[in-house]
Structure 1
């Protein structure tokens, strides 16, 4: 088996990930389960719904989520589909490696997120370093804060993704437990 971009980026620290996350990021896979989507109140809720529409999130409540993770030689591909809708695919390209302060570039449409990963108790916690829209860097003070991670709980994959604004509060959150599909 060839080494994936994920293994190369993490280097020796790949072994700090939970074994199930190591397997997922060595072989790829498909995860299924129920997640709950919630939106903020007032203006935060309005902005959250606009953001969610661009990301193909459904309305608030419980929804079925399918995540497919695949590997290319120099990238990681994530496809997310809520309730069987057309998937939204993100392309993650590594830049450098973790040991040398490297990061990932997540590309979804015209948006580019510069991300690093913190490994906490075997979990994968994304940390945003910067955002570009149509190639232009955006001031971080004006952008939603992200809280995104995956970790293993009782053999299942806990996903949590939340966006918020400092003065307005939560915009949109989705979270739940997913299981590996056959």
Structure 2
């Protein structure tokens, strides 16, 4: 997809070209890109602030924490995944008919005016909806967001609060201009699977066909990249008792891994995540029964799966 399809370029128009190159690269680059850095997080002291931070999976207060930001372009929208100190929250952005930037976080939808300059840009909240209901101006959240170039990367300063409540969360820091490699990007999970297992390869086919935006990557555990991942995360390299999902810094196994991947599939497959309400020990017991008998049930191959030309970009070899 071309740079012309980038969300911020479509909103800013020709003013996008006046912004620093580091911001243009991040907001107008490839369809999937991830940058990493460090940040400081402040959380409001009120019970309401702490509850909202927990409810929306916002980051906890810390003087310094690693941050990764993954920006994934999907048709006319962008999915942003921020991981700060092990806490992950996601938002979806798109352009409205009135050329505002719409950002949805859980049940809340914000509408921002984008102001650009030669230093960077700022976002100004114009209105907000909760569960589709517009908030009166007196109850609008107080949101400030700014990005500027610091020469080699991006400096950001974001805060959000509520009238009568005060600060909810604020985080500020820097992102480097270097790209996080595949296999380490939040929001672009890697499925590590037994490459000679027919049952496992059937699972790969299932996810390949139902992942409309090509977000999931695949690596056979026996492949060079698969072994690299296993060694990096101190995982067994000879006994493949479960497939493993890597999503950013997270390592997800067994039934949790299956349910996690369904969240990346087309409708109605994400509804399967309702089974996360079933206690894990029950789900994993069922999973283990299949895993222990997978060769008996479906057989095995003599050699690992070789992806077709059409599949190659989805496999890490």
TM-score normalized with structure 1 length:
0.84
Whether 1:40 and 2:44 are equivalent positions in the alignment is: yes
Picking from 2, 21, 39, the partner of 1:19 is 21
Structural RMSD (CA): 2.0
Q: Which has the higher helix share?
A: 2
C-alpha contact 1:30 1:180 (8 A) present in aligned 2: no
Q: CA deviation digits over 1:163-182, x for unaligned, max 9?
A: 23455543321111111333
Picking from 171, 174, 178, the partner of 2:175 is 178
Q: CA deviation digits over 1:87-108, x for unaligned, max 9?
A: 3221111024xxxx52021122
Shift of 1:160: 1.2
Which residue of structure 1 lines up, in the alignment, with residue 99 of structure 2? 102
Which residue of structure 2 lines up, in the alignment, with residue 115 of structure 1? 112
Which residue of structure 2 lines up, in the alignment, with residue 60 of structure 1? 61
Matches within 5 A, 1:77-88: 77-85=79-87, 87-88=88-89
Greater length-normalized contact order (CA 8 Å, ≥ 6 residues apart): 1
C-alpha contact 2:16 2:116 (8 A) present in aligned 1: no
Shift of 1:155: 1.6
C-alpha contact 1:35 1:176 (8 A) present in aligned 2: yes
Q: CA deviation digits over 1:45-99, x for unaligned, max 9?
A: 32322222233233311221110112223112211112234x3221111024xxx
TM-score normalized with structure 2 length:
0.51
**C-alpha separation between the residues in 1 aligned to 2:161 and 2:90?**
22
Say if 1:123 and 1:162 are closer, same or farther in 2 by CA, change over 3 A. same
- Structure 1 SS opposite 2:86: coil
C-alpha contact 1:95 1:103 (8 A) present in aligned 2: yes
Matched residue pairs, number? Answer: 174
Q: Which runs of 5 or more residues in structure 1 are unaligned?
A: none
- Structure 2 SS opposite 1:181: coil
Q: Decide which structure has the larger Cα Rg and report it.
A: 2
Shift of 1:149: 1.4
**C-alpha separation between the residues in 2 aligned to 1:104 and 1:58?**
23
Shift of 1:111: 1.2
Which residue of structure 2 lines up, in the alignment, with residue 89 of structure 1? 90
Q: Which runs of 5 or more residues in structure 2 are unaligned?
A: 180-317
Say if 1:6 and 1:58 are closer, same or farther in 2 by CA, change over 3 A. closer
Picking from 128, 137, 143, the partner of 2:134 is 137
Shift of 1:11: 1.5
**C-alpha separation between the residues in 2 aligned to 1:65 and 1:139?**
34
- Structure 1 SS opposite 2:173: strand
Shift of 1:143: 3.0
Q: Which has the higher strand share?
A: 1
Shift of 1:114: 0.9
